[in-house]
Amino acid sequence: MSESVDFYELLEVERGADDKTIKAAYRRLALRYHPDKNPGCKDSEAKFKSISHAYDCLKDPQKRAAYDRFGHAAFENGGRGGGGAQGFEGFSDIFEDIFGEFMGGGRGRGRTNQRGADLRYDMEITLEDAFHGKDASVSIEVAATCEQCDGSGAKPGTSASACRTCAGHGKVRAQQGFFVVERVCPSCHGAGQVIADPCPGCRGEGRVDRSKTLSVKIPAGVDEGTRIRLTGEGEAGARGAPPGDLYIFLHVARHERFERDGTMLLTRVPIGFGTAALGGVISVEGIDGHNHEIRVPAGIQSGRQLRQRGAGMPVLNGRGAGDLVIQVDVETPTRLDPRSRELLEELRSIELGGAVEDQPEGFFSRLKGRFAE
């Protein structure tokens, strides 16, 4: 096919088409006329070379500007790229866009300087720690940057050199029929560099195992599973790459008196038979260590819950606090002195005496009235 044919006509696009439209047109035509899909067809092969040459020009902003101004004359006298090889390279660019993620990324982007791994540390704290917050310290074993070579992996005074096999890309490419296959360089294992004289301190890794102690601030209101991140305190990256992060997962130990539900605290408080019948005030120690005066209504039943506003857990990174919920457990006396037994015998006679319809308020109401006489 004559190369005097307009490049835009070859790709079946308008002269003012944007890069995305041109690429899509080339992809469609290249798939249609590729020699592997049309074996033995000379016309398809010639068409494929022509559209590949056209795309090679129009995808480059400088070449496209020159072509728009001077036409085919812009590439005369050795100024234009060849047809065949350039065509296949342009086609491989398309497949790199399509399959780049599966092949490990674009050309020239090796896996050098990969970020260090993140680490996890589990810490147990008390409910009081979760209420007040605290400053704690953690000791961990971690791969840290080698101080002798400053993480480069090369012996001090020397440096790594680009891998000759992959030219520093970390990957090598090979065309297999219709596809361009990209794999990790077998010489540098994807690093893109080769260390001829490794550092004796880290043996070329750029990292050494080391123990370190870190300070961590635990804010008030944390709950089971709360995660705290210490940026840059994870494993050092290979050969000077950025470090990972350290994640501290908090576990709140079970408390002997309180159960937690979000910001709400629940506790069980036993009260005497007389207090339950007549009502009164009880003192309940909260998680803050202060005593809270709780009013008990007369005739309260066992299992009933009372609420003290704002005496629960603080809101994490916020204002205010939840409630303290007190579940009342009425205690039945088991050891009675003669006087107590006498009084309870009298109360039982009151409970059993009279018709049921004459006692609509129940036993505790009648008991309260009896003591008020």
Query: Residues comprising the binding site for Zn(2+)?
Result: 146, 149, 163, 166, 185, 188, 199, 202
Binding residues: 146, 149, 163, 166, 185, 188, 199, 202
Rounded to whole angstroms, how far apart are CA atoms 142 and 243? Answer: 11
Question: Using an 8 Å Cβ cutoff, are 47 and 54 in contact?
Answer: no
Angle between helices 19-33 and 84-103 (to 10 degrees): 110
Gyration radius of the chain's alpha carbons: 40
Q: Which two tokens stand for residue 123?
A: 């810490």
d(CA 101, CA 160): 28
Strand partners, 271: 330
The candidate with the shortest Cα–Cα distance to 130, out of 21, 243, 30, 251, is 251
3-class DSSP assignment, residue 103: helix
Asked whether the CA dihedral 354, 356, 361, 362 is positive or negative, the reply is: positive
Question: Rounded to an integer, what distance in angstroms lies between the CA atom of residue 308 and that of residue 27?
Answer: 71
Cβ-proximal residues to 339 (8 Å cutoff; 6+ apart), any chain: none
- What DSSP character marks residue 32? H
Dist. CA 319–CA 201, nearest whole Å:
51
Residue closest to 79 by CA, chosen among 56, 104, 45 = 56
Rounded (10°) angle between helices 61-70 and 42-58: 100
Q: Exposure of 29 by Cβ count < 10 A (0-12 exposed, 13-18 middle, 19+ buried)?
A: buried
Separation between Cα atoms, residue 218 and residue 253, nearest integer Å:
15
Question: First-to-last CA distance in the chain?
Answer: 120
User: For 255, what's the count of Cα atoms within 13 Å in the CB-facing half-sphere?
Assistant: 20
